[in-house]
C-alpha cells in the first residue's frame, strides 16, 4: 500500500498489505494469547499501557512528524494530539482497577451474590484517520486493560501511524499474540467482518458504520459505532464578549481543518448580535495561516483525502446558488496538495446542504435566528446526534436548550471538546454505544452473575 503526503502529493511510505491468510493466522494467535492476558491482573496490564504512554512521549517528535506527513495535520496539532491522548492513559491508571473489580452485592445470609466483569475475548477495532491517537486509544487501550486481545485496523490514510502504535505497544510489553495491527484498505475491513470476533468497534462514517452493523448482526456480538455529526452551535444575544465567542466558535469549526467528528458544523446567531459576530468571525478565519503543515505557525493544512475537495465545493456552490453569501474562501488552492481555503458562508438556511450534510472540512455556514426557539428548532433539525453547544451568559437559559437536544454530548460556552472523565457517545446517525469514562470500559466486558450458596 502506498501512502501519499497530502501536502506534497508524493508517496512517502510503502507498506505491505496483509493477505486473508495472514489476517486469519493473526486472529488464531490472538485467541490463544487473550486467555493468558486475561489471567494477568489489571495492575499488570496497566503497567504495559503506562510504559506504552512513556514510549510514545519519548518519541513524540518523530511520531508527530509521521502523523503530519500522512494526514496533513499541522505539526502543532499533531504534537497536541499525541500529548493530549496521554490523558486516557492517566485516567485508566487512576480508575481501571476500581471499574473492573468484582461487585459484591450480597455477602450475608445463605446465598452470596456478585458481578464479575469478564473480557469479551478478541475484538476488532476498525479506526479512522482524523485523530488516530485519540480514537485509537479510546478503543484499544480500554479493550486491552479490560483483558481483551485486539486486531486494530488503522485507516489506510493513517496506516503508518497505526504501525507505530503497534510497535510501541509490543515494546511496552503487550504480547504480539494480544495486539496486532492489520494493514489494508476497506477490503481488509470487510474481511474482519467475516471472521469470528467477539466484538466490533468502529470509528468512521455513518455509511460504513451501517454496513458493518448489518454485516455482523447475525453474530449477536457487541457492535459499537462512533460515527460522524453535524454539530450545531448557537450564539445567544447575551454573550458577554461577541469577539471572543467568534474566536472560540471559529476554532471549534476549523481546528484540524474541520476534520473532527465533533467539529462545529453549523452556527446559529441571534439577530441582535449577528453583524458583530459575523465581522469578528470572518476576520478571525481570514487570519488563519494556511499552508505547509510542517511549519509550527500553520493552522490550516491540506485535507487528508483528495476526494473531500469535491464534496466541499459542491456544498459551497449549492449554498451560493440558494442565496448564501460567500464571505471568505470558497475554492481549492491552485497548487500542489489537497488544500481548500477556509470558507465562511452567511445568510444560510436549511435548504442548503452545508447546513444539513456533514462537511468534514474547512467550511462553515452561519444562519441568523430571531429567538431561542428558532435556534432550538434548527439545532434539532438533523439526523445526527453527536454534540450541541450554546454560548450564553445565562446558564439556565443554555441548559434549557441543551436538555432538549438529542445528542450524546452538550457544551455550554465551549465546543469541540472530549474528556476521558465523561462518556463519548453518539445518538441517531452519530452512533451506538460509549467510549471513555467508566462507561467506556464497560463496553469491553461482559458481566457474569454469581449466586453462591455454601451447601
Contacts to ligand NDP by CB under 6 A: 126-130, 135, 153, 155-157, 185-186, 189-190, 193, 203-205, 208, 211-212, 226-228, 261, 358, 360, 386, 426, 431
Centre a 10 Å sphere on the Cβ of residue 9 and count the other Cβ atoms it contains.
Answer: 12
Q: How far is the CB of 243 from ligand NDP (least distance, A)?
A: 29
Interatomic CA distance for residues 228 and 223, integer angstroms: 16
- Kindly tell me which of 282 and 379 has the beta carbon lying closer to ligand NDP: 379
92 close to 142: Cβ distance less than 8 angstroms: yes
267 strand-pairing partners: 233, 366
- Kindly tell me which of 126 and 242 has the beta carbon lying closer to ligand NDP: 126
- Kindly tell me which of 299 and 360 has the beta carbon lying closer to ligand NDP: 360
Q: How far is the CB of 160 from ligand NDP (least distance, A)?
A: 12
Q: How far is the CB of 240 from ligand NDP (least distance, A)?
A: 31
Q: How far is the CB of 127 from ligand NDP (least distance, A)?
A: 6
Q: How far is the CB of 205 from ligand NDP (least distance, A)?
A: 3
Element (H, E) at 184: none
- Kindly tell me which of 204 and 232 has the beta carbon lying closer to ligand NDP: 204
- Kindly tell me which of 203 and 407 has the beta carbon lying closer to ligand NDP: 203
Q: How far is the CB of 184 from ligand NDP (least distance, A)?
A: 7
- Kindly tell me which of 270 and 430 has the beta carbon lying closer to ligand NDP: 430
Element (H, E) at 28: helix 20-39
Phi, psi of 97 (to 5 degrees): -60, -40
Interatomic CA distance for residues 184 and 179, integer angstroms: 17
Handedness of CA 174, 177, 181, 186 (dihedral sign): negative
Q: How far is the CB of 443 from ligand NDP (least distance, A)?
A: 13
Residue 182 backbone zone (phi > 0: left; psi -120 to 50: alpha; other: beta): beta
Q: How far is the CB of 142 from ligand NDP (least distance, A)?
A: 14
- Kindly tell me which of 185 and 318 has the beta carbon lying closer to ligand NDP: 185
Q: How far is the CB of 156 from ligand NDP (least distance, A)?
A: 3
- Kindly tell me which of 87 and 446 has the beta carbon lying closer to ligand NDP: 87
CB closest to ligand NDP, residue no: 189
- Kindly tell me which of 117 and 360 has the beta carbon lying closer to ligand NDP: 360
Handedness of CA 353, 358, 364, 366 (dihedral sign): positive
Interatomic CA distance for residues 269 and 281, integer angstroms: 11
Q: How far is the CB of 58 from ligand NDP (least distance, A)?
A: 27
Phi, psi of 54 (to 5 degrees): -65, -40
Q: E-assigned strands of 179-322?
A: 179-181, 200-203, 223-226, 231-235, 264-270
Residues 6+ apart with CB under 8 A from 310: none
Q: Where are the alpha helices (DSSP H) in 59-205?
A: 60-71, 75-100, 132-136, 142-145, 159-171, 186-194
Q: How far is the CB of 329 from ligand NDP (least distance, A)?
A: 21
- Cβ burial of 21 (10 Å; 0-12, 13-18, 19+) is exposed
Element (H, E) at 256: none
Radius of gyration of the chain (CA): 23
- Cβ burial of 221 (10 Å; 0-12, 13-18, 19+) is middle
- Kindly tell me which of 346 and 435 has the beta carbon lying closer to ligand NDP: 435
How far, in Å, are 42, 46, 180 from residue 29 at the CA level?
A: 22, 22, 10
- Kindly tell me which of 210 and 414 has the beta carbon lying closer to ligand NDP: 210
- Kindly tell me which of 329 and 431 has the beta carbon lying closer to ligand NDP: 431
Counting every residue written for the chain, the total comes to 455
Q: How far is the CB of 175 from ligand NDP (least distance, A)?
A: 24
Amino acid at each position: 500500500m502506498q501512502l501519499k503526503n497530502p501536502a506534497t502529493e508524493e508517496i512517502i511510505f510503502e507498506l505491505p498489505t496483509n493477505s486473508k491468510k495472514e489476517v486469519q493466522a493473526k486472529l488464531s494467535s490472538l485467541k490463544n494469547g487473550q486467555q493468558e492476558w486475561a489471567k494477568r491482573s489489571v495492575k499488570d496490564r496497566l503497567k504495559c499501557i503506562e510504559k506504552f504512554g512513556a514510549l510514545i512521549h519519548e518519541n513524540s517528535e518523530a511520531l508527530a512528524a509521521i502523523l503530519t506527513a500522512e494526514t496533513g495535520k499541522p505539526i502543532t496539532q499533531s504534537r497536541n494530539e499525541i500529548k493530549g491522548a496521554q490523558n486516557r492513559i492517566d485516567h485508566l491508571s487512576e480508575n481501571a482497577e476500581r471499574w473492573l473489580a468484582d461487585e459484591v452485592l450480597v455477602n450475608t445470609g445463605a446465598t452470596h451474590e456478585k458481578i464479575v466483569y469478564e473480557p469479551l475475548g478478541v475484538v476488532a477495532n476498525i479506526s479512522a484517520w482524523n485523530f488516530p491517537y485519540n480514537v485509537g486509544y479510546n478503543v484499544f487501550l480500554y479493550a486491552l486493560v479490560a483483558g481483551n486481545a485486539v486486531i486494530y485496523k488503522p485507516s489506510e490514510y493513517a496506516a503508518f501511524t497505526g504501525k507505530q502504535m503497534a510497535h510501541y505497544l509490543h515494546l511496552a510489553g503487550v504480547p504480539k499474540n494480544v495486539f496486532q495491527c492489520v494493514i489494508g484498505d476497506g477490503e481488509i475491513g470487510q474481511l474482519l467482518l467475516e471472521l469470528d470476533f467477539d466484538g466490533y468497534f468502529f470509528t468512521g462514517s455513518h455509511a460504513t458504520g451501517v454496513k458493518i452493523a448489518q454485516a455482523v448482526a447475525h453474530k449477536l456480538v457487541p457492535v459499537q459505532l462512533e460515527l460522524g455529526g453535524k454539530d450545531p452551535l448557537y450564539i445567544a444575544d447575551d454573550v458577554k464578549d461577541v469577539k471572543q465567542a467568534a474566536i472560540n466558535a471559529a476554532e471549534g469549526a476549523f481546528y484540524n481543518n474541520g476534520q473532527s467528528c465533533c467539529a462545529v458544523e453549523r452556527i446559529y446567531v441571534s439577530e441582535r448580535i449577528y453583524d458583530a459576530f459575523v465581522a469578528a468571525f470572518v476576520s478571525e478565519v481570514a487570519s488563519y495561516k494556511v499552508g505547509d503543515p510542517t511549519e509550527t505557525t500553520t493552522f490550516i493544512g491540506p485535507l487528508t483525502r483528495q476526494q473531500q475537495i469535491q464534496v466541499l465545493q459542491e456544498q459551497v456552490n449549492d449554498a451560493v446558488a440558494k442565496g448564501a453569501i460567500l464571505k471568505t474562501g470558497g475554492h481549492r488552492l491552485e497548487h500542489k496538495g489537497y488544500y481548500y481555503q477556509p470558507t465562511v458562508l452567511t445568510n444560510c438556511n436549511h435548504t442548503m446542504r452545508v447546513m444539513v450534510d456533514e462537511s468534514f472540512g474547512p467550511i462553515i455556514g452561519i444562519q441568523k435566528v430571531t429567538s431561542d426557539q428558532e435556534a432550538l428548532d434548527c439545532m434539532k433539525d438533523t439526523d445526527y446526534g453527536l454534540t450541541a453547544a450554546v454560548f450564553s451568559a445565562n446558564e439556565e437559559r443554555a441548559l434549557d436548550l441543551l436538555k432538549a437536544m438529542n445528542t450524546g454530548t452538550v457544551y455550554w460556552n465551549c465546543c469541540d471538546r472530549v474528556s476521558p472523565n465523561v462518556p463519548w457517545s453518539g445518538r441517531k446517525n452519530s452512533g451506538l454505544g460509549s467510549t471513555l469514562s467508566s462507561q467506556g470500559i464497560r463496553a469491553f466486558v461482559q458481566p457474569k452473575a454469581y449466586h453462591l450458596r455454601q451447601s
